Amino acid sequence: MWQEVLNMLFPKKCINCEIIIPSSQLYLCEVCKTKLPFTGIILNNENYLCEKLNLITKIESASALLNFTKNNITQKLIHHLKYKNMPELGEWLAEIWFQNNKDNPFLKKIETVIPVPIHPKRLKNRNYNQLTLCGKRLADLLNCEYDDYTLKRIYHLKSQTQSGKYERMERMKNTFQRTNSKKSHFLLVDDVLTTGSTLIYCTEELLKIKTSQVSIFTLAVAN
């Protein structure tokens, strides 16, 4: 009864178009779900993301789920994931990505899922890392380890959304640190790939143990 009252007072709305949707429906109305801008980039080593990152570092494979442009559905989803206390969105997107890749042989190589860490100061302000539930769900689906301790963020930086490529690269130097000598094939998970600076410096830290390998998955890639 109380749930019905709450649903009437605070109806659930589509994140994109804001029409009222059934309480049992997840995040988007059926029409907006059909408009999700999928990249079609499955996890492999023959796509432009892998080529782009391998110009500077060494990764084994890469994938991104959605295209990110100003004011599109992806931007709204990522905004709710990061700033509207909806980390469960990451689980949902992880499940969609897995379904698109479940028969992919590159997945069998993954041993550990590791999210890009956030600084303790930001964690305190936000109360959650937006990638934690996404990473944990991926680890469950891949039947591998989830690790949020091998990599840590040691410097707190203000938002870089207005920074250019080279400024981002310079600011990200020495931002991350490896905490142990764990060897693994890591799937490094991030929300949005823009210049790639965050992923590059995280990868460089993980590869300090020579026998480690890194693959990349991002929820979105900026166009």
Range of the domain at 198: 37-222
User: pTM to 2 decimals?
Assistant: 0.90
In the chain, the number of structural domains is: 2
DSSP lists the bridge partners of residue 216 as: 62, 188
Distance separating alpha carbons of residues 96 and 100, to the nearest angstrom: 6
Question: Could you tell me if 28 and 137 lie in one domain?
Answer: no
Residue 80 — φ and ψ, nearest 5°? -65, -35
CATH code of residue 161: 3.40.50.2020
pLDDT of res. 124: 82
Question: Could you tell me if 28 and 54 lie in one domain?
Answer: no
Per residue in 60-103, pLDDT (tens digit) is 999 999 999 999 999 999 999 999 999 999 999 999 999 999 89
3-state secondary structure of 32: helix
Question: Could you tell me if 189 and 104 lie in one domain?
Answer: yes
Per residue in 201-219, pLDDT (tens digit) is 999 999 999 999 999 999 9
**pLDDT at 170 > cutoff 70:** no
Question: Could you tell me if 10 and 87 lie in one domain?
Answer: no
**pLDDT at 156 > cutoff 60:** yes
pLDDT of res. 122: 84
Length of the chain equals 223
